Amino acid sequence: MSPFQGYRGDGVLAGVRSRKRVFASAADEPVTAAAVPKRQKRREEPSLDALPDECLFEVLRRVRGARARCASACVSRRWLALLAGIRASDAVLAPAAPAVPDLNQEYLGDEDDDEADLMDHDGDSRERTFEGKEATDARLTAAAVAGRLASVSVRGSHPARGVTDAGISALARGCPALRSLALWDVPQVTDVGLAEIAAECHSLERLDITGCPLVTDKGLVAIAQGCPELKSLTIEACSGVANEGLKAIGRSCAKLQAVNIKNCAQVDDQGVSGLVCSATASLAKVRLQGLNITDASLAVIGYYGKAITDLTLARLPAVGERGFWVMANALGLQKLRCMTVVSCPGLTDLALASVAKFSPSLKLVNLRKCSKVSDGCLKEFAESARVLENLQIEECNKVTLMGILGFLLNCSPKFKALSLAKCIGIKDICPAPAQLPVCKSLRSLTIKDCPGFTDASLAVVGMICPQLENVNLSGLGAVTDNGFLPLIKSSESGLVNVDLNGCENLTDAAVSALVKAHGSSLAHLSLEGCSKITDASLFAISESCSQLAELDLSNCMVSDYGVAVLAAAKQLKLRILSLSGCMKVTQKSVPFLGSMSSSLEGLNLQFNFIGNHNIASLERQLWRCDILA
């Protein structure tokens, strides 16, 4: 074809219309205002927001990669809501790779793989916690859009825009691989939200529901039917939960290992018995607190709890002595290792002795506020519990030192730890018994907040327990150097952890004797509230302690000179140092604190006279250390 074909000779190609120039003059009529918006409307670029929800949904479900989904969710609330409605099964997968690879597509695919690896290995991206005012549907939905979350905790809720079923539903649709969900004090979540979790998150292993009054048995039944992998269940202060939900969990969740039911007024013997009977093969940890259960529930636990290793019974006023006795004599608790009983009037001397006799694996017993437990059962209890290692007694006021001595005289050679706290009956014995036991297996002793325990009793303790390594005498204001020095001298094994918090009558002489005798083994020393401790103790510590890692001098009478002595001790490798409330520590200590060993990880400088500008200087010098001021 000729290149001049269609040429008419007048300078115009055939088929092309020439344009005429139009010149506007001042006399011309002005452009009307109505024509401007019309012209601007024609010039607007097309937008995805003009699409109806159905079309935009189809577009968004083809977005691949967590980063791209997050970017799309930031466009508008409408996009966020549509992305929240996309289930993992609705997302369009990537097409099959073409025969001839496209380098651009290959690069994008590698980026997505790297992003997936990052999400899998980054703990923060796999676990999220929403707390207080940050706990809203919008934040929860945005996190769910990215997907890949394995653990979510919602603690509290925004007062006006709190988490509701909409946020929980978005989480379920976006994170079908969710394994752990905790909902604490989220009053707007109902059974609808739990039903969505059950429908989508079939791999859920841990569920913790606390303070959700609108959750009822219907929600738990849905969880039971949709989450067969459930291993741990906590229901606390949920007034709508009764018996049917617990029964359904027991029937359908064959892998259930731990149950914590607390302060649920509608749960009674039917719910607890149904749950324990059905989950007898797997249930290892049971905690029941503040429930309207009776002796019948404890009888079921004693017979069907063949796999239970950890049992906690707290505030069960309707359970009597008969319930504990039947539970023990049912012979089902052969694997029980740890038992905690709190504020249960039914636990008597007879009941405690029966539990010890028929639970051959029992290693730890914790008794708190058990008003009917006395010295009468401790000897028999010690003789029956032949593998017991740890006994903790708190606010059991009928227990006295005579009962404790009888227990130590008959305890197992495996017994290692004894704790007595807030027991009014623990006080000096006058006169001292003629026969004193020697418990060489005891390694840890705690006598805390027992006002009647003084020097005379502490000296006896030293003779009874020559192999102590951990000593906690917190709150024993009546103890002085006269009682503490014999304990130090009688200790054949090196003391490792010593807590003298609140022993206000101890002086530098006691601390000096302690570090000289046990400085090579001492790793933790707390002198908080020991108001008679001065720089002399720090001088002794700097000379004798080579393994000390934690030192608490809060509210002591140490000064800048003592801090300088600690800083100059080259062999001292402190990790944590507390000088809170030391009024004699001033800004003069800043250079010495700044020169301390690089091993320092924590420094407490609250309530003294160092000053904020000096704290900032210390933060630059000790950049690896967390400073609390």
Residue 122: how many other CB atoms lie within 10 Å: 11
> Does residue 515 form part of some domain?
yes
Q: What φ, ψ does residue 177 adopt, rounded to 5°?
A: -90, 15
The answer to whether residue 107 scores a pLDDT higher than 50 is no
Here the tokens at position 253 are 């969740």
pLDDT of 102 reads 52
Domain-ending residue, one of 85, 100, 131: 85
pLDDT of 11 reads 44
> Does residue 227 form part of some domain?
no
> Does residue 622 form part of some domain?
yes
Distance (Å, rounded) from C-alpha 225 to C-alpha 349?
A: 43
Q: Give me the residues paired with residue 393 across strands.
A: 367, 420
Write the single-letter amino acid at 310.
Answer: D
> Does residue 21 form part of some domain?
no
pLDDT of 18 reads 44
> Does residue 113 form part of some domain?
no
Task: For residue 471, give the nearest of 425, 517, 437 by alpha carbon.
Answer: 517
Tens of pLDDT, residues 609-621: 888 888 998 999 8
pLDDT of 123 reads 42
Domain that holds residue 67: 54-85
The answer to whether residue 74 scores a pLDDT higher than 70 is no
pLDDT of 22 reads 41
Tens of pLDDT, residues 228-239: 999 999 999 999
The answer to whether residue 558 scores a pLDDT higher than 70 is yes
pLDDT of 78 reads 67
> Does residue 566 form part of some domain?
yes
Is residue 83 very low, low, confident or very high in pLDDT (cuts 50, 70, 90)? low
Domain-ending residue, one of 85, 105, 132: 85
Beta carbons within 8 Å of 368's beta carbon, 6+ residues apart:
340, 341, 342, 343, 392, 393, 394, 395, 396
pLDDT of 436 reads 80
Tens of pLDDT, residues 111-165: 444 444 334 434 445 899 999 888 988 888 888 876 678 999 999 988 888 899 9
Domain-ending residue, one of 43, 70, 85: 85
The mean of the pLDDT values for the chain is 85
Is residue 82 very low, low, confident or very high in pLDDT (cuts 50, 70, 90)? low
pLDDT of 475 reads 95
Instruction: Write the DSSP assignment of 190-243 as a string of letters.
Output: -HHHHHHHHHH-TT--EEEEES-TT--HHHHHHHHHH-TT--EEEEES-TT--H
Q: Among 96-105, 449-458, 502-511, which stretch is predicted with the lowest mean pLDDT? A: 96-105
> Does residue 223 form part of some domain?
no
Beta carbons within 8 Å of 209's beta carbon, 6+ residues apart:
183, 215, 234, 235, 236, 238
Distance (Å, rounded) from C-alpha 371 to C-alpha 343?
A: 8
pTM surpassing 0.75?
yes
pLDDT of 57 reads 66
Tens of pLDDT, residues 430-483: 666 667 888 999 999 999 999 999 998 888 888 889 999 999 999 999 999 999
pLDDT of 462 reads 82
> Does residue 502 form part of some domain?
yes
Residues above pLDDT 70, as percent of the chain: 80
Domain count, the chain: 2
Residues above pLDDT 90, as percent of the chain: 64
Instruction: Provide the CATH number for the domain around residue 512.
Output: 3.80.10.10
